[in-house]
């Protein structure tokens, strides 16, 4: 690789598959190129914790042949350690792949390595650097996966989200991120933090790449993408009770995205947050803490002094949550899901901030998940749309949210918005 890693062009799922189809490269060539990029640049970025050995048996004909995927190190892999970012799991070797990993391999993708995760997918930061915002956090807990795609090391990566751990890193690293409807992607073989909230997700360079990747992994029709117009769409500008957390440049980014959609034919309407959804967001912490304290009880009890301080604090607090409080929070969550469904009786999609602002400076924090965690709780599909920036050039992601189960619609509208952003900035779409 001759490009500096911070300047390397990104790998696009669609472009790679088209080049292979047109016989301009082979699947083996594509994977070898990804390996070279990692070897040349990851010492600076720190996206990977482990790389797979070359697999001479890799498919050359399957639907995702030639596509390199980085896997967050909380998913089991039979051929690499799964250490969860924790000293408690040092040297842990699963015998079998997690379901999502197995599905990707079955489709012909190459699992090229394990990417950095915060400890047990919590919030104690690691040392992964942000490829597009040097000196700023790449986010968490899927920091390595987002950075690997943003640096152009791999065409795609797997992450997980319990609060905002796919959408926020995608926003901070200026790439596309997809948190699908709850359980669209299996979490079997993925380390549990909160069984009611944990959601497997995907990263890629563009929304079109995400849709193609998700379609070929799941076998579901998710690529009904169209031209960059928005005629007939009704988009809700979701006015949340926590909007006072927003950086002013994120507020401006949401406004800019809304204007682009409106000029392209969409109708933009304001939607005030219902009380049930505000209360649902507040219930997230109780549900997550209660479930994490039980899912990680053995780790907490037997290895608590070796856990990171932020994770330990979450588990300590979660262990104090009484069952009655947890049950009450679950009732709030159920009401929030019903309220979320009702929103889409009047709009096709919501436009919301992916994070409170650009990536914070330094590596002491992975950023605030507040803006994303409501939609994790409700289980709605969310797509981070990249392309907008602050006046200083830092990434600002905005999200499209649609009705539960309408993942294809979230990807379609997000693709339209990404193309509009690219056209507005004079950049060709991929």
Q: Which residues are catalytic?
A: 72, 141, 165
Pairing mode of beta strands 199-204, 110-115? unpaired
Contacts of 139 (CB under 8 A, 6+ apart): 146, 165, 168, 169, 170, 171, 172, 173, 355, 359, 366, 367
Please state, in angstroms and rounded to a whole number, the distance separating the CA atoms of residues 161 and 140.
9
Residue with tokens 């001479």: 56
Residue with tokens 């507020």: 251
DSSP assigned state of 8: P
Residue 192's Cβ-side half-sphere holds a number of Cα atoms within 13 Å equal to 15
If you ran DSSP here, which 8-state letter would residue 401 be given? Answer: E
Instruction: Give the residues across from 270 on adjacent strands.
Output: 237
C-alpha–C-alpha distance, residues 142 and 34, integer Å: 20
Mapped onto helix, strand or coil, the DSSP state of residue 339 is helix
């Amino acid at each position: 690789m001759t490009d500096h890693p911070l300047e390397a062009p990104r790998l696009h799922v669609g472009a790679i598959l088209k080049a292979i189809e047109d016989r301009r490269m082979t699947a083996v060539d594509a994977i070898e190129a990804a390996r070279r990029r990692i070897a040349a640049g990851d010492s600076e970025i720190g996206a990977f914790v482990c790389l797979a050995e070359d697999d001479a048996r890799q498919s050359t004909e399957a639907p995702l042949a030639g596509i390199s995927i980085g896997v967050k190190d909380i998913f089991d892999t039979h051929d690499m350690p799964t250490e969860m970012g924790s000293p408690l799991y040092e040297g842990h070797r699963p015998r079998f792949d997690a379901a999502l990993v197995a599905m990707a391999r079955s489709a012909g993708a190459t699992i090229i390595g394990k990417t950095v995760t915060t400890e047990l997918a919590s919030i104690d930061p690691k040392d992964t650097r942000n490829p597009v915002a040097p000196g700023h956090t790449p986010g968490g807990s899927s920091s390595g996966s987002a950075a690997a795609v943003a640096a152009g090391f791999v065409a795609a990566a797997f992450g997980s989200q319990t609060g905002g751990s796919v959408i926020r890193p995608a926003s901070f690293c200026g790439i596309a991120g997809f948190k699908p409807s709850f359980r669209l992607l299996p979490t079997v073989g993925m380390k549990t933090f909160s069984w009611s909230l944990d959601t497997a997700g995907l990263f890629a360079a563009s929304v079109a790449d995400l849709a193609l990747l998700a379609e070929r992994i799941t076998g579901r029709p998710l690529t009904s993408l169209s031209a960059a117009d928005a005629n007939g769409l009704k988009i809700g500008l979701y006015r949340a009770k926590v909007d006072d957390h927003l950086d002013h440049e994120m507020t401006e980014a949401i406004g800019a995205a809304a204007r682009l959609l409106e000029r392209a034919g969409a109708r933009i309407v304001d939607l005030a947050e219902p009380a049930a959804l505000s209360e649902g967001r507040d219930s997230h912490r109780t549900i997550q803490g209660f479930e994490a304290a039980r899912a990680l009880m053995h780790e907490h009890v037997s290895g608590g002094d070796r856990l990171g301080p932020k994770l330990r604090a979450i588990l300590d607090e979660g262990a104090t949550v009484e069952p009655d409080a947890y049950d009450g929070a679950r009732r709030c969550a159920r009401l929030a899901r019903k309220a979320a469904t009702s929103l889409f009786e009047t709009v096709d999609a919501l436009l919301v901030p992916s994070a409170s602002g650009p990536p914070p400076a330094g590596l002491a924090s992975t950023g605030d998940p507040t803006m994303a965690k409501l939609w994790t709780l409700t289980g709605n599909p969310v797509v981070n749309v990249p392309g907008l920036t602050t006046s200083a050039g830092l990434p600002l992601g905005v999200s499209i949210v649609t009705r539960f189960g309408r993942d294809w619609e979230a990807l379609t509208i997000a693709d339209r918005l990404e193309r509009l952003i690219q056209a507005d900035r004079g950049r060709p779409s991929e």
